[in-house]
Chain A
Protein backbone atom coordinates (compact mmCIF):
# COMPACT_ATOMS: atom_id res chain seq x y z
CA UNK A 1 0.00 0.00 0.00
CA UNK A 2 1.16 3.47 -0.86
CA UNK A 3 0.27 6.64 1.03
CA UNK A 4 -2.04 9.05 -0.81
CA UNK A 5 -0.54 11.46 -3.32
CA UNK A 6 -1.49 13.55 -6.31
CA UNK A 7 0.06 13.03 -9.78
CA UNK A 8 1.08 16.04 -11.87
CA UNK A 9 1.60 15.88 -15.62
CA UNK A 10 3.87 18.71 -16.78
CA UNK A 11 4.23 19.21 -20.52
CA UNK A 12 7.60 20.97 -20.38
CA UNK A 13 10.77 20.73 -18.31
CA UNK A 14 10.17 24.31 -17.12
CA UNK A 15 6.73 23.34 -15.86
CA UNK A 16 8.18 20.36 -13.99
CA UNK A 17 10.86 22.58 -12.45
CA UNK A 18 8.18 25.09 -11.38
CA UNK A 19 6.20 22.28 -9.71
CA UNK A 20 9.29 21.26 -7.79
CA UNK A 21 9.89 24.84 -6.72
CA UNK A 22 6.26 25.17 -5.64
CA UNK A 23 5.89 21.92 -3.69
CA UNK A 24 9.44 21.63 -2.34
CA UNK A 25 10.19 18.51 -0.31
CA UNK A 26 6.62 17.26 -0.51
CA UNK A 27 7.11 16.53 -4.23
CA UNK A 28 9.15 13.85 -6.01
CA UNK A 29 10.04 13.51 -9.67
CA UNK A 30 8.44 10.31 -10.96
CA UNK A 31 9.33 8.31 -14.07
CA UNK A 32 9.39 4.50 -13.90
CA UNK A 33 8.91 4.39 -10.15
CA UNK A 34 11.13 1.32 -9.86
CA UNK A 35 13.12 2.92 -7.01
CA UNK A 36 10.68 5.60 -5.80
CA UNK A 37 7.60 3.43 -5.31
CA UNK A 38 9.57 0.78 -3.41
CA UNK A 39 10.95 3.44 -1.07
CA UNK A 40 7.45 4.88 -0.62
CA UNK A 41 6.09 1.42 0.21
CA UNK A 42 8.60 1.43 3.06
CA UNK A 43 7.10 4.70 4.28
CA UNK A 44 10.05 6.81 3.09
CA UNK A 45 9.76 10.21 1.47
CA UNK A 46 6.30 11.26 2.57
CA UNK A 47 5.67 12.70 -0.88
CA UNK A 48 2.24 14.21 -1.47
CA UNK A 49 2.98 15.11 -5.09
CA UNK A 50 4.47 12.97 -7.84
CA UNK A 51 5.63 14.88 -10.91
CA UNK A 52 5.39 12.52 -13.88
CA UNK A 53 8.24 13.52 -16.20
CA UNK A 54 7.13 10.96 -18.81
CA UNK A 55 4.48 13.45 -19.95
CA UNK A 56 7.24 15.83 -21.16
CA UNK A 57 7.71 15.24 -24.93
CA UNK A 58 11.19 14.18 -26.00
CA UNK A 59 12.44 12.84 -22.69
CA UNK A 60 12.12 9.29 -24.06
CA UNK A 61 14.38 9.84 -27.08
CA UNK A 62 17.81 8.41 -27.90
CA UNK A 63 19.64 10.51 -30.51
CA UNK A 64 23.10 10.84 -31.92
CA UNK A 65 24.57 14.18 -33.02
CA UNK A 66 26.76 14.82 -36.06
CA UNK A 67 29.90 14.63 -33.89
CA UNK A 68 28.84 11.19 -32.62
CA UNK A 69 27.65 12.35 -29.18
CA UNK A 70 24.79 10.24 -27.87
CA UNK A 71 21.95 12.04 -26.08
CA UNK A 72 19.80 9.82 -23.89
CA UNK A 73 16.57 11.39 -22.61
CA UNK A 74 16.15 11.09 -18.85
CA UNK A 75 12.96 9.02 -19.21
CA UNK A 76 14.53 6.48 -21.57
CA UNK A 77 14.07 3.03 -20.02
CA UNK A 78 16.86 0.56 -19.41
CA UNK A 79 15.13 -1.68 -21.92
CA UNK A 80 15.10 0.96 -24.66
CA UNK A 81 18.81 1.62 -24.24
CA UNK A 82 19.59 -2.10 -24.05
CA UNK A 83 17.91 -2.61 -27.43
CA UNK A 84 18.75 0.68 -29.12
CA UNK A 85 20.57 -0.07 -32.41
CA UNK A 86 22.50 3.19 -31.92
CA UNK A 87 23.71 2.12 -28.50
CA UNK A 88 24.50 -1.42 -29.62
CA UNK A 89 26.56 -0.30 -32.59
CA UNK A 90 28.33 2.76 -31.28
CA UNK A 91 28.17 2.45 -27.47
CA UNK A 92 28.22 -1.32 -26.93
CA UNK A 93 29.39 -0.86 -23.32
CA UNK A 94 26.11 0.90 -22.47
CA UNK A 95 23.98 -1.77 -24.17
CA UNK A 96 25.97 -4.55 -22.47
CA UNK A 97 25.54 -2.88 -19.07
CA UNK A 98 21.80 -2.25 -19.55
CA UNK A 99 21.21 -5.87 -20.57
CA UNK A 100 22.42 -6.85 -17.08
CA UNK A 101 20.37 -4.38 -15.01
CA UNK A 102 18.10 -6.16 -12.48
CA UNK A 103 15.49 -8.16 -14.46
CA UNK A 104 13.33 -7.62 -17.58
CA UNK A 105 10.45 -6.14 -15.54
CA UNK A 106 12.63 -3.48 -13.93
CA UNK A 107 14.20 -2.74 -17.32
CA UNK A 108 10.73 -2.28 -18.89
CA UNK A 109 9.84 0.61 -16.58
CA UNK A 110 13.02 1.84 -14.87
CA UNK A 111 14.66 4.86 -16.49
CA UNK A 112 18.25 5.96 -16.81
CA UNK A 113 17.46 9.41 -15.40
CA UNK A 114 15.64 7.98 -12.42
CA UNK A 115 18.49 5.61 -11.73
CA UNK A 116 21.08 8.41 -11.71
CA UNK A 117 18.95 10.78 -9.62
CA UNK A 118 18.24 8.10 -7.03
CA UNK A 119 22.01 7.53 -6.70
CA UNK A 120 21.63 4.07 -5.18
CA UNK A 121 25.24 2.90 -4.73
CA UNK A 122 24.49 -0.69 -5.82
CA UNK A 123 23.69 0.25 -9.37
CA UNK A 124 25.10 -0.47 -12.82
CA UNK A 125 24.63 2.62 -15.03
CA UNK A 126 26.95 5.12 -13.31
CA UNK A 127 29.92 2.75 -13.61
CA UNK A 128 29.60 2.37 -17.38
CA UNK A 129 28.79 6.05 -17.89
CA UNK A 130 31.88 7.12 -15.91
CA UNK A 131 34.10 5.21 -18.32
CA UNK A 132 32.48 7.21 -21.12
CA UNK A 133 33.01 10.48 -19.26
CA UNK A 134 29.24 11.17 -19.46
CA UNK A 135 27.66 14.54 -18.76
CA UNK A 136 24.20 15.18 -17.29
CA UNK A 137 21.93 17.99 -18.48
CA UNK A 138 19.94 19.73 -15.73
CA UNK A 139 17.11 22.19 -16.33
CA UNK A 140 15.49 24.51 -13.83
CA UNK A 141 14.33 28.01 -13.09
CA UNK A 142 17.90 29.24 -13.58
CA UNK A 143 18.11 27.72 -17.05
CA UNK A 144 20.09 24.78 -18.32
CA UNK A 145 23.43 23.57 -16.96
CA UNK A 146 25.71 20.61 -17.61
CA UNK A 147 27.69 18.63 -15.04
CA UNK A 148 30.10 15.74 -15.41
CA UNK A 149 28.39 12.63 -14.00
CA UNK A 150 31.24 12.34 -11.48
CA UNK A 151 30.15 15.69 -10.00
CA UNK A 152 26.44 14.87 -10.15
CA UNK A 153 26.38 11.75 -7.97
CA UNK A 154 27.94 13.02 -4.75
CA UNK A 155 27.12 10.19 -2.33
CA UNK A 156 24.71 7.35 -1.57
CA UNK A 157 21.20 8.56 -2.49
CA UNK A 158 22.60 12.04 -2.96
CA UNK A 159 22.91 14.02 -6.18
CA UNK A 160 23.73 17.60 -7.07
CA UNK A 161 20.22 18.10 -8.51
CA UNK A 162 18.96 21.53 -7.40
CA UNK A 163 15.63 21.87 -5.57
CA UNK A 164 13.97 23.39 -8.62
CA UNK A 165 15.73 21.31 -11.27
CA UNK A 166 15.23 18.11 -13.16
CA UNK A 167 17.60 15.89 -15.08
CA UNK A 168 16.54 15.99 -18.73
CA UNK A 169 19.29 14.08 -20.55
CA UNK A 170 22.59 12.26 -20.37
CA UNK A 171 25.21 13.07 -23.01
CA UNK A 172 27.89 10.57 -23.93
CA UNK A 173 30.74 11.49 -26.27
CA UNK A 174 31.65 8.91 -28.91
CA UNK A 175 34.41 6.58 -27.74
CA UNK A 176 37.75 6.77 -29.60
CA UNK A 177 37.94 4.77 -32.84
CA UNK A 178 38.80 1.08 -32.31
CA UNK A 179 37.95 1.26 -28.60
CA UNK A 180 36.82 -2.07 -27.13
CA UNK A 181 34.93 -2.38 -23.89
CA UNK A 182 33.35 -4.74 -21.38
CA UNK A 183 30.92 -4.56 -18.45
CA UNK A 184 30.98 -7.40 -15.94
CA UNK A 185 29.22 -7.71 -12.63
CA UNK A 186 28.82 -10.13 -9.77
CA UNK A 187 26.37 -10.52 -6.94
CA UNK A 188 24.37 -13.07 -4.99
CA UNK A 189 21.30 -10.85 -4.59
CA UNK A 190 19.17 -8.78 -6.93
CA UNK A 191 21.65 -5.93 -6.68
CA UNK A 192 25.33 -6.36 -7.54
CA UNK A 193 28.23 -6.72 -5.11
CA UNK A 194 30.58 -5.28 -7.71
CA UNK A 195 30.29 -3.92 -11.25
CA UNK A 196 33.28 -3.13 -13.46
CA UNK A 197 33.41 -1.23 -16.74
CA UNK A 198 36.57 -1.24 -18.85
CA UNK A 199 37.42 0.45 -22.12
CA UNK A 200 40.68 -0.08 -23.99
CA UNK A 201 41.95 1.86 -26.99
CA UNK A 202 44.61 -0.11 -28.87
CA UNK A 203 47.53 1.43 -30.76
CA UNK A 204 48.72 0.22 -34.17
CA UNK A 205 51.10 -2.34 -32.61
CA UNK A 206 48.50 -4.10 -30.46
CA UNK A 207 49.36 -2.35 -27.21
CA UNK A 208 47.17 -0.24 -24.92
CA UNK A 209 47.12 3.40 -26.03
CA UNK A 210 44.47 4.41 -23.52
CA UNK A 211 42.69 2.57 -20.70
CA UNK A 212 39.63 3.53 -18.68
CA UNK A 213 38.31 1.50 -15.77
CA UNK A 214 35.50 2.21 -13.32
CA UNK A 215 34.30 0.19 -10.33
CA UNK A 216 30.82 0.49 -8.87
CA UNK A 217 28.75 -0.91 -5.97
CA UNK A 218 31.81 -1.39 -3.74
CA UNK A 219 31.91 2.08 -2.20
CA UNK A 220 29.51 5.00 -1.72
CA UNK A 221 29.90 6.09 -5.36
CA UNK A 222 31.31 4.51 -8.52
CA UNK A 223 34.90 5.59 -9.21
CA UNK A 224 37.52 5.58 -11.96
CA UNK A 225 40.81 3.83 -11.18
CA UNK A 226 43.20 6.50 -12.45
CA UNK A 227 46.48 4.94 -11.31
CA UNK A 228 45.61 1.60 -12.83
CA UNK A 229 44.54 3.26 -16.09
CA UNK A 230 47.96 4.93 -16.33
CA UNK A 231 49.81 1.72 -15.48
CA UNK A 232 48.08 -0.10 -18.34
CA UNK A 233 49.47 2.28 -20.95
CA UNK A 234 51.80 0.54 -23.42
CA UNK A 235 51.04 -3.01 -22.22
CA UNK A 236 50.47 -5.55 -25.01
CA UNK A 237 46.76 -6.41 -25.36
CA UNK A 238 47.69 -10.10 -25.43
CA UNK A 239 49.13 -9.78 -21.91
CA UNK A 240 45.99 -8.01 -20.68
CA UNK A 241 43.82 -10.70 -22.22
CA UNK A 242 45.86 -13.40 -20.50
CA UNK A 243 45.17 -11.78 -17.12
CA UNK A 244 47.07 -8.75 -15.92
CA UNK A 245 48.57 -9.66 -12.50
CA UNK A 246 48.48 -6.07 -11.20
CA UNK A 247 44.67 -6.12 -11.51
CA UNK A 248 44.56 -8.45 -8.50
CA UNK A 249 45.19 -5.41 -6.33
CA UNK A 250 42.82 -3.09 -8.20
CA UNK A 251 40.43 -2.93 -5.26
CA UNK A 252 42.98 -2.53 -2.47
CA UNK A 253 42.63 1.22 -2.08
CA UNK A 254 38.88 1.46 -2.72
CA UNK A 255 36.65 3.14 -0.16
CA UNK A 256 34.59 -0.05 0.34
CA UNK A 257 31.42 -0.34 2.43
CA UNK A 258 30.40 -3.47 4.33
CA UNK A 259 26.74 -4.29 3.71
CA UNK A 260 24.33 -7.05 2.71
CA UNK A 261 26.33 -7.55 -0.49
CA UNK A 262 29.59 -8.34 1.28
CA UNK A 263 32.18 -7.10 3.75
CA UNK A 264 34.49 -4.28 2.73
CA UNK A 265 37.44 -6.72 2.49
CA UNK A 266 35.43 -9.14 0.37
CA UNK A 267 34.31 -6.39 -1.98
CA UNK A 268 37.89 -5.12 -2.40
CA UNK A 269 38.99 -8.67 -3.25
CA UNK A 270 36.10 -9.12 -5.72
CA UNK A 271 36.88 -5.75 -7.32
CA UNK A 272 40.34 -7.11 -8.16
CA UNK A 273 38.92 -10.31 -9.60
CA UNK A 274 36.36 -8.52 -11.77
CA UNK A 275 38.67 -5.71 -12.92
CA UNK A 276 40.97 -8.44 -14.21
CA UNK A 277 38.09 -10.18 -16.00
CA UNK A 278 36.69 -6.97 -17.49
CA UNK A 279 40.13 -5.99 -18.81
CA UNK A 280 40.71 -9.47 -20.24
CA UNK A 281 37.34 -9.41 -22.02
CA UNK A 282 37.89 -5.89 -23.38
CA UNK A 283 41.39 -6.88 -24.56
CA UNK A 284 40.03 -10.00 -26.25
CA UNK A 285 37.43 -7.90 -28.06
CA UNK A 286 40.05 -5.33 -29.08
CA UNK A 287 42.27 -8.07 -30.52
CA UNK A 288 39.38 -9.79 -32.29
CA UNK A 289 38.42 -6.51 -33.96
CA UNK A 290 41.99 -5.66 -35.02
Chain B
Protein backbone atom coordinates (compact mmCIF):
# COMPACT_ATOMS: atom_id res chain seq x y z
CA UNK B 1 0.00 0.00 0.00
CA UNK B 2 1.32 3.46 -0.97
CA UNK B 3 0.82 5.41 2.25
CA UNK B 4 0.41 9.18 2.06
CA UNK B 5 2.63 11.23 4.36
CA UNK B 6 0.37 13.49 6.44
CA UNK B 7 1.71 17.06 6.63
CA UNK B 8 -1.22 18.76 8.38
CA UNK B 9 -2.81 17.89 11.72
CA UNK B 10 -6.18 16.19 11.10
CA UNK B 11 -7.47 17.79 14.30
CA UNK B 12 -6.48 21.49 14.01
CA UNK B 13 -4.91 21.67 10.50
CA UNK B 14 -1.61 22.98 11.90
CA UNK B 15 1.64 21.89 10.29
CA UNK B 16 2.95 18.55 11.59
CA UNK B 17 6.57 18.02 12.68
CA UNK B 18 8.69 14.85 12.77
CA UNK B 19 9.05 13.51 16.33
CA UNK B 20 10.43 10.05 15.81
CA UNK B 21 12.70 8.27 13.29
CA UNK B 22 13.17 4.53 13.31
CA UNK B 23 15.79 2.16 11.80
CA UNK B 24 14.18 -1.07 10.59
CA UNK B 25 17.55 -2.86 10.54
CA UNK B 26 18.78 -2.38 14.15
CA UNK B 27 15.54 -1.09 15.61
CA UNK B 28 17.12 2.15 16.84
CA UNK B 29 14.59 4.90 17.44
CA UNK B 30 15.54 8.57 17.55
CA UNK B 31 13.23 10.98 19.25
CA UNK B 32 13.37 14.72 18.66
CA UNK B 33 11.52 17.51 16.96
CA UNK B 34 12.29 18.11 13.28
CA UNK B 35 10.61 20.30 10.66
CA UNK B 36 9.46 18.60 7.46
CA UNK B 37 11.62 19.61 4.47
CA UNK B 38 9.84 21.96 2.06
CA UNK B 39 9.55 19.37 -0.73
CA UNK B 40 7.77 16.93 1.59
CA UNK B 41 5.14 19.55 2.30
CA UNK B 42 4.03 19.35 -1.33
CA UNK B 43 1.47 16.75 -2.34
CA UNK B 44 2.42 13.63 -4.30
CA UNK B 45 1.36 15.05 -7.68
CA UNK B 46 3.50 18.14 -7.11
CA UNK B 47 6.50 16.03 -6.04
CA UNK B 48 6.07 13.91 -9.18
CA UNK B 49 5.93 17.10 -11.26
CA UNK B 50 9.25 18.27 -9.80
CA UNK B 51 10.90 14.87 -10.43
CA UNK B 52 9.62 14.88 -14.03
CA UNK B 53 10.83 18.47 -14.46
CA UNK B 54 14.37 17.43 -13.45
CA UNK B 55 14.24 14.27 -15.58
CA UNK B 56 13.18 16.42 -18.56
CA UNK B 57 16.18 18.73 -17.99
CA UNK B 58 13.78 21.55 -17.20
CA UNK B 59 12.19 21.43 -20.65
CA UNK B 60 8.45 22.14 -20.46
CA UNK B 61 8.05 20.97 -24.06
CA UNK B 62 9.39 17.51 -23.16
CA UNK B 63 7.22 17.48 -20.04
CA UNK B 64 4.14 18.36 -22.09
CA UNK B 65 4.89 15.42 -24.40
CA UNK B 66 5.37 13.04 -21.46
CA UNK B 67 2.23 14.19 -19.63
CA UNK B 68 0.21 14.46 -22.88
CA UNK B 69 -0.82 18.00 -21.94
CA UNK B 70 -0.45 21.22 -23.93
CA UNK B 71 2.55 23.47 -23.30
CA UNK B 72 0.57 26.29 -21.59
CA UNK B 73 -1.13 23.74 -19.29
CA UNK B 74 2.26 22.49 -18.09
CA UNK B 75 3.59 26.05 -17.80
CA UNK B 76 0.56 26.98 -15.68
CA UNK B 77 1.17 23.94 -13.44
CA UNK B 78 4.76 25.09 -12.96
CA UNK B 79 3.72 28.68 -12.25
CA UNK B 80 1.19 27.48 -9.65
CA UNK B 81 3.86 25.31 -8.05
CA UNK B 82 6.34 28.20 -7.92
CA UNK B 83 3.66 30.30 -6.24
CA UNK B 84 2.99 27.56 -3.66
CA UNK B 85 6.70 27.07 -2.92
CA UNK B 86 7.19 30.83 -2.49
CA UNK B 87 4.25 30.89 -0.07
CA UNK B 88 5.66 27.95 1.94
CA UNK B 89 9.10 29.57 2.06
CA UNK B 90 7.55 32.80 3.34
CA UNK B 91 5.74 30.86 6.05
CA UNK B 92 8.99 29.14 7.13
CA UNK B 93 10.99 32.38 7.32
Q: Are chains A and B native binding partners rather than an unrelated pairing?
A: no
